[in-house]
């Protein structure tokens, strides 16, 4: 690869925004990620739903806890819904809507994603700092 090609590739993929490879979410995969530095990085997670991937802030609308206890443990045993491990709220994977539990009718905060060259990225349009601060308040 020439220097010019390498520069173009680096420009195309903002490495700080890369969450994981799409293949790492094969099947019913989900995984946590953190972007940003300082006291309030953006803590989110991504989840595969069919051919699509969705991203959400890792903060339950019930009591503000992270949804998971383990880095990749976000789903019910059958993989159909997102499960908050604190008090059992259940969310749809495709839109983050809470269908049962103490915050029924509320929703997870979405994070726009892009899939580029086989990588899942937080979209360029996402203001990571603003979203992290909103999630912390
Ligand atoms: S913090 Fe998620 S259900 Fe209570």
pLDDT value at residue 37: 78
Q: Is the CB of 110 under 6 A from ligand 1?
A: no
- The token duo for 87 is 């008090």
Domain residue extents for the chain = 16-136
Hey, what CATH class is 16-136 in?
mainly beta
Q: State the SS3 of 64-81.
A: CCCCCCCCCCCECCCCCE
pLDDT value at residue 12: 65
Distance of CA 56 to the CA centre of its chain: 4
Distance between CA atoms of residues 85 and 79, nearest Å: 14
Q: Is the CB of 84 under 6 A from ligand 1?
A: yes
CB 53 within 8 A of CB 113: yes
pLDDT value at residue 134: 84
- Mean pLDDT throughout 21-45? 88
- Mean pLDDT throughout 6-11? 53
User: Ligand 1 pocket: which of 62, 68, 91 to mutate (most atoms <8 Å of CB)?
Assistant: 62
Residue scoring higher pLDDT (8 or 86): 86
Distance of CA 6 to the CA centre of its chain: 28
Query: For residue range 89-111, what is the model confidence (pLDDT) as tens digits?
Result: 999 999 999 999 999 999 999 99
Residue whose structure tokens are 């195309």: 12
Tell me what percent of the residues of the chain surpass a pLDDT of 70: 90
| 89 CA closest ligand 1 atom index | 3
């Amino acid at each position: 690869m020439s220097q010019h090609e390498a520069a173009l590739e680096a420009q195309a993929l903002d490495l700080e925004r890369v969450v994981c490879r799409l293949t790492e979410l094969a099947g019913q995969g989900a995984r946590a990620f953190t972007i940003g530095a300082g006291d309030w990085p953006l803590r989110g997670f991504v989840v595969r739903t069919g051919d699509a991937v969705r991203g959400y802030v890792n903060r339950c609308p019930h009591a503000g806890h992270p949804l998971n206890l383990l880095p990749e443990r976000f789903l019910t045993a059958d993989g159909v819904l997102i499960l908050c491990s604190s008090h059992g709220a259940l969310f749809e994977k495709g839109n983050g809507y809470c269908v049962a539990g103490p915050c029924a009718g509320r929703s997870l905060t979405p994070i726009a994603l892009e899939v580029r060259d086989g990588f899942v990225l937080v979209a360029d349009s996402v203001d990571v700092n603003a979203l992290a601060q909103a999630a912390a308040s």
